[in-house]
Chain A
Amino acid sequence: MENLTLKLFGKTLKNPVMNASGTLGYGKEIESLWGIETLGAYVTKGLSAKPHHGNPVPRVWEERNGMINSIGLQNIGVERFFNEYFPYFKQRQTPVIVNFFGFTEEEYIACAEKIKADPLIVALEMNLSCPNIKMGGISFGKEPNMVFEIVKHVKSTTDIPLIIKLTPEVKNIVEIAWAAYEGGANGLTLINTIPAAVVDIRSRCIPLKGGLSGPTIKPVALRAVYECSKAVSIPIVGAGGIMNTEDALSFFMAGATAIQIGTATFVDPYTIPKIISGISNYIDEQGLSLIDDIVGIAHDQ
């Protein structure tokens, strides 16, 4: 599988396949099925400067070809993660991308500052879908100037490469991608879940509002990856409804340098290893040498 190797922010990853944040627990949970070192990089559950309890149930709801979740960013806090879980990734020599969030700019900065550079840390992945509680609850990721400002400020507090994970619920995602790029982002993850709701007709209420994921959002994600990768020159991590090798290939062809698998793991917990061998086989069968050979190939057609 040498044909999957890539360099990302100066670090060598053995493949371009990651889990999406929050869909592989704290990492250890998968170990009886497959080794964490299978991943190109492990993306942490969203971490914050202080622990968060998360939301009451229901937190998940099935949809046709997808699901809605509202976990509420439950996490043990960035410090406990590094004390209790990071040694596991060290021991397994698995590169880590640290997903983090906040509800104020100060909280983002406080969290980023607590993360010390390490040879295994590839990047920070900043979740910009949270409401900015100092700005009436509008999401940080919605306005280009808010994106520019927060990226610039967080970037100035850390030496670790910074990936920005964007919400698709915006007027123009290319403008947001530009704002992140101009603020100093080193990469983008596209896309986060799409805001959605469920109505229970029996109880006539809305039991859950949350983020829609799964194959139903794949075309939306592909469009964002395609448009943004044409517009900005930083690496794009594609995410959104990837269920199999064909889906994965379509993201690379649309312009993603790496991909993340989320909801698919709940349906088939072996999806990640299956996709890794699937894309490697494809590269071989096509007589290509590296996965990079197909990144953005659809742009030229």
Chain B
Amino acid sequence: MYDIEATVVQNKNIVSGYYLLKMHLLKPMGKIQPGQFVMIRIPGNEVFLRRPFSIYEGNKDTISIMYRVAGKGTEILSKVKKNIQTSILGPLGNGFHLNDTDNYHVVAGGIGIAGVNMLIKRLGKRASVFFGCNSKDELQLIKDIKGSDVKIATLDGSEGYKGNVVDLLENYLISTKTEMVETLVCGPKGMYEGLRGLFEKTGTPCQVLVEERMACGFGLCFGCVIRTTDDKEPYKRICKEGPVFDLWKISL
């Protein structure tokens, strides 16, 4: 973990309400695991605390985040222009636990793709991707991973399966008689509940990336927690022990 000065290279509007921010790092961040995140200082003086974002892509000199405008911080961020300076703390948290041989199902909902983009690239052919969004406009979010094996669900049916991504996955598993494999997920809470229902009988291993309001981003304040099945110490810090958790060990 380092606190690194960075310069905005590009802050591109991908589709209404969604942006891809690419920043040049003045010093390397070090090795990044898929699923890790950064705390970014929002330029200007309107926002007090830094904001957490999954690392969409990162290497020695640059880092990118994909974000949806959801509040004041992201609203201001969406207006940031090229060459603006900021500070980035990271990489933070624990990413997805992967082994070198297994195939995985990767499930993403909407802006959840931001949390699994690196993962999908890292896994290459070992990943079958299931992506769900509201409507086909939002398929702009997965333009970068079109080369991979991606199945699509839209809630309005404008492209791919009509319905949510959990139903798409279920349908796919049944219709193709595909074996259930460990599933890696990033999306809204409802999706995790759906997957828990789907995997209940099989107990399919499943890792989920969760989010929460954060203050420090690296375990100092105990502000972002999730309740787990650990009776002795139920609340775990999302920023420190997470943000990736075993679906079967958390309460939703």
Q: Which of B42-50, B75-83, B114-122 is found at the contact surface with chain A?
A: B42-50
Q: Which of A1-9, A49-57, A135-143, A148-156 is found at the contact surface with chain B?
A: A49-57
Contact A58 B213 (CB under 8 A): yes
Residues of B within 8 A of A64 (CB): 48
Q: How far is the CB of A119 from chain B (nearest CB, A)?
A: 27
Residues of A within 8 A of B220 (CB): 23-25, 29-30, 265-266
- Answer whether A59 and B218 are a contact pair too, CB < 8 Å, given A33-B3, A53-B235: no
Residues of A within 8 A of B234 (CB): 53
Q: How far is the CB of B46 from chain A (nearest CB, A)?
A: 8
Q: How far is the CB of A76 from chain B (nearest CB, A)?
A: 7
Q: Which of A35-43, A65-73, A100-108, A224-232 is found at the contact surface with chain B?
A: A65-73
Contact B227 A56 (CB under 8 A): yes
Q: How far is the CB of A168 from chain B (nearest CB, A)?
A: 20
- Answer whether A57 and B218 are a contact pair too, CB < 8 Å, given A33-B1, A62-B49: no
Contact B221 A32 (CB under 8 A): no
A144 at the interface (CB under 8 A from B): no
Q: How many residues of B contact A (CB 8 A)?
A: 31
Contact B219 A60 (CB under 8 A): no
Interface class of chain B by DSSP = loop
Q: How far is the CB of B241 from chain A (nearest CB, A)?
A: 12
B214 at the interface (CB under 8 A from A): yes
B215 at the interface (CB under 8 A from A): yes
Count contacts between A and B, CB distance < 8 Å.
Answer: 94
Q: How far is the CB of A24 from chain B (nearest CB, A)?
A: 5
Interface flags, B191-229, vs A, CB<8A=1, else 0:
000000000000000000000111111111111111100
Residues of B within 8 A of A32 (CB): 1-2
With both beta carbons as reference points, the residue of chain A lying nearest to B231 in the complex is identified as: A53
B38 at the interface (CB under 8 A from A): no
Contact A269 B49 (CB under 8 A): no
A86 at the interface (CB under 8 A from B): no
Q: How far is the CB of A207 from chain B (nearest CB, A)?
A: 10
Contact A69 B218 (CB under 8 A): no
Residues of A within 8 A of B222 (CB): 22, 25, 45, 54, 59, 71, 74
Contact B227 A270 (CB under 8 A): no
Contact B218 A76 (CB under 8 A): no
> Complex Cα distance A33/B90, Å?
11
Contact B233 A60 (CB under 8 A): no
Interface centre among A61, A69, A266 (most CB of B within 10 A): A266
Interface class of chain A by DSSP = loop
Task: Tell me the A186-215 residues at the B interface (CB within 8 Å).
Answer: 214
Contact B225 A57 (CB under 8 A): yes
Size category, A interface: 35 or more
Task: Tell me the A241-284 residues at the B interface (CB within 8 Å).
Answer: 263, 265-270
With both beta carbons as reference points, the residue of chain B lying nearest to A269 in the complex is identified as: B3
Residues of A within 8 A of B235 (CB): 53-54, 56, 74
Contact B233 A66 (CB under 8 A): no
Contact A29 B218 (CB under 8 A): yes
Residues of B within 8 A of A113 (CB): none
With both beta carbons as reference points, the residue of chain B lying nearest to A262 in the complex is identified as: B221
- Answer whether A60 and B221 are a contact pair too, CB < 8 Å, given A33-B3, A53-B233, A66-B48: yes
B232 at the interface (CB under 8 A from A): yes
Residues of B within 8 A of A56 (CB): 227, 235
B105 at the interface (CB under 8 A from A): no
Q: How far is the CB of B192 from chain A (nearest CB, A)?
A: 15
B107 at the interface (CB under 8 A from A): no
A63 at the interface (CB under 8 A from B): yes
B126 at the interface (CB under 8 A from A): no
With both beta carbons as reference points, the residue of chain A lying nearest to B225 in the complex is identified as: A57
Contact A269 B89 (CB under 8 A): yes
- Answer whether A71 and B213 are a contact pair too, CB < 8 Å, given A62-B47, A266-B49, A267-B50: no
Residues of A within 8 A of B214 (CB): 60
B240 at the interface (CB under 8 A from A): yes
Interface residues of A (CB under 8 A from B): 22-25, 29-30, 32-33, 45, 51, 53-54, 56-67, 69, 71, 74, 76, 214, 263, 265-270
Could you show 20 A-B contacts with beta carbons less than 8 Å apart?
Answer: A23-B220, A25-B219, A25-B220, A25-B222, A30-B220, A53-B235, A56-B235, A60-B213, A60-B214, A66-B48, A69-B221, A71-B222, A71-B223, A266-B215, A266-B216, A266-B221, A267-B50, A268-B3, A268-B87, A269-B218
**Other than the known A266-B216, A269-B89, what 7 A-B pairs have Cβ atoms closer than 8 Å?**
A23-B221, A71-B221, A74-B225, A263-B215, A266-B220, A269-B3, A269-B218
